[in-house]
Amino acid sequence: MSKPTALHAVHEAAGAHFTDFAGWQMPLRYGSELAEHHAVRTAAGLFDLSHMGEIEVVGPQAAALLDHALVGDISAIAVAKAKYTMICNEDGGILDDLIVYRLSDERYMVVANASNAGVVLDALKRRAAGFDAEVQDRCDDWSLIAVQGPRSAAILGELTGADLGALRYYAIQETTVAGRAVRLARTGYTGEDGFEIFCDPADAVDIWQALSEAGAPHGLVPAGLACRDSLRLEAAMPLYGNELSADLTPYEAGLGRVVKLDKGSDFVGRAALAARAGREVTRVRVGLRPEGRRAPRSGYAVLDRASETQVGTVTSGAPSPTLGYPIAMAYVDTALSEPGTRVAVDVRGQRVEAEVVALPFYSRPR
């Protein structure tokens, strides 16, 4: 049976439609996912992300452990800053993509995807052998609320004494929101400016309600996982299980920049990733703009227009509410990856023409 978050009753009262996601009962939408999507792009959306997995690594060798366990240069993260990184197998395959926050010299918070939290926890514990550091499961100790969108700073500013102007992207601080102690990070998964609020589950309802009240004049609405998916697709943010998997290395995903082969310590998967970095990839992640109104979905075949042979696979696809036409991400043969290249997609037995386009599909105004 799926597990409810601390905000479940609030979601029910708001008329949420629920879905089972990675063992959690999560709001999929409250009314129109299209309206929720547009609210995030133009004003703000309020998300319950309490299904995400929080793991803390503490101790004198916490940084050294994470340098060994992850592909990034974690010891280089300044206190109160964060980094996007990955944890890989010995063969370089991606176990999960992560955000790591450095809370103090000897304390880090690793945030894993809900479906992989157990895998990441187990891997970190195994890799901790020999290090003077402790890996702690904190998944049940935090609720996570996100406010995302161009009005998010104005809304949050009414409820916190934190200097939001000084809180830069991928930074975190301990402060209060609505009088409750929180960890406040300027991070998100929508392509918009926004904040993620880590709080005690006992405080989640009060914080959610305070944000709802403060946000109402700004156009804030509660938003579910459905629009979060369309928002991250427009921003070309990869989703584990779609664009990322243990069968792929960061290089195929177009995220080789997160692999720090030259950091001062060895790490799990380094030899395989170093070898992979020296070879040209055969398939890469690209954007597709199909003709017409039908959106390719995950698993659909990408075809060579002339031979009709399969040259790739769609990983995510949907109508884009912001752009007004279908979009998709796919892995295709490198020879067909240049923007402007024409391919076809098999959409339920029908051949749909598509153009390879540069990613991301959408970037917020600066």
CATH number of domain containing 346: 2.40.30.110
Predicted confidence (pLDDT) at residue 166 exceeds the cutoff of 90: yes
- Global model pTM greater than 0.95: yes
Range of the domain at 223: 3-50+142-234
Q: What is the pLDDT of residues 254-281, one digit of tens each?
A: 999 999 999 999 999 999 999 999 899 9
Number of domains, the chain = 3
Q: How much is the mean pLDDT over the chain?
A: 97
Q: Is 218 in the same domain as 179? A: yes
Beta-sheet strand order (sheet of 17-21): 3-4, 24-29, 17-21
DSSP 300: P
Q: Is 165 in the same domain as 223? A: yes
Query: DSSP string of 234-293?
Result: HTT---BTTTB-TT--TTTTT-GGG--TTSSS--TTHHHHHHHHTS--SEEEEEEEESSS
Q: Is residue 216 part of a domain?
A: yes
Residue that finishes a domain, picked among 234, 256, 271: 234
Distances (CA, A) of 133 to 57, 118, 126, 127: 7, 19, 12, 11
What pLDDT was estimated at residue 278? 87
CATH number of domain containing 46: 3.30.1360.120
Q: Is residue 204 part of a domain?
A: yes
What pLDDT was estimated at residue 311? 98
Peptide bond into 217 cis (omega under 30): no
Q: What is the pLDDT of residues 189-244, one digit of tens each?
A: 999 999 999 999 999 999 999 999 999 999 999 999 999 999 999 999 999 999 99
Q: Is 63 in the same domain as 191? A: no
CATH number of domain containing 95: 3.30.70.1400
* 361: Cα within 13 Å, side-chain hemisphere: 31
Q: What is the pLDDT of residues 316-363, one digit of tens each?
A: 999 999 999 999 999 999 999 999 999 999 999 999 999 999 999 999
